[in-house]
Each structure stands twice: as C-alpha cells, then as structure tokens.
Amino acid sequence: MYNRFSQENLSLDGAAFVNPNGILLIPSNSNRLLGHAFYSSPLQFQETKQNKANLLHSTSAPTLFSPSKYPDLGGHGLAFVLSSTKEPKGYLPNQYLGLPNVTSNAEFSTHFLAVEFDIVQNLELFDINDNRVGI
C-alpha cells in the first residue's frame, strides 16, 4: 500500500481525499461517487530547452485491488489519466470511471488518454467482459 500521498502536490475534486495516513481514497459507503486526484504541476514527457530538470523518465503508482465480498456493491473500476486539464468537465461516475462521456468529446478540454481497470461488464458500452484493462 502506498501511503505517501500529500494534498500539497495533488489537485483533488469530488469525493477524493487524502487521509491522515497519506492514503488516497474515495469513500466506499455511498453510491455514484466521483473523485479525481491530479498532480498539481504538469508532467513533462518531452525535453525542452527551458525544462530539462523536470523531465519524466519513469513513474509508478502502487495500487491494491480488493474485490468486494458483496458483488452487487462497489465501483466499476478506476482509470489512470493523462489530461490537458486538471479541471475536468463532463466527467461521469459509474461505467464512465470518472472520464468524459460521448457527448463531451467535442471540447479540447475533455481530450485525454486513459488506462482503465474495469471490473464490471456494461453491454451498453460493448464491454467484452467484466475483468479487463483497456486504453
């Protein structure tokens, strides 16, 4: 378990919070919750003349997935996102995993790249099964 998150270097919204032990959480006792945790500063993926020191060479995010003992309760999964903004618009909970839906794709501010860890099959979204990783 990674317990070194700090609200000082994260931009949190919705139900996301960092507990006193440094663990990033979204409460599990309510339905249809949505929360995001974005790094406060942009990540640099390409070397520039102005910014050689902060170039991202690698990163890791230790994550624990623990299936619920109550199959009808719990979330649809989670997603790691690269986004042009840390103030998302049109992002939805449940099967959308906190990502934009089809109707918000026209806005540049909603363009993103995500790796999803989805644990619920949704036939409306043409999910192939209930346990997959997607891009």
Q: What is the pLDDT of residues 59-113, one digit of tens each?
A: 666 666 565 666 665 667 778 888 877 776 777 777 777 777 666 655 666 678 8
CATH classification at residue 121: 2.60.120.200
Identify the domain containing residue 47 by its residue range: 7-134
On whether residue 11 sits in a domain, the answer given is yes
Domain count, the chain: 1
Residue 79 lies in a domain: yes
- Rounded alpha-carbon distances, angstroms, from residue 8 to 25, 37, 41, 73, 123: 16, 11, 11, 32, 40
Among residues 112, 11, 5, 6, which one has the least CA distance to residue 62?
Answer: 5
User: Can you tell me the mean pLDDT for 128-133?
Assistant: 82
Provide the b/e sequence for 40-75 (b: ≥16 CB within 10 Å).
Answer: eeeeeeeeeeeeeeeeeeeeeeeeeeeeeeeeeeeb
Report if residue 1 sits inside a domain: no
Residue-level length of the chain: 135
Place of tokens 């339905």: 31
On whether residue 2 sits in a domain, the answer given is no
Q: What is the pLDDT of residues 6-36, one digit of tens each?
A: 888 888 988 888 999 888 887 766 677 788 8
Beta-bridged to residue 113, according to DSSP, are: 82
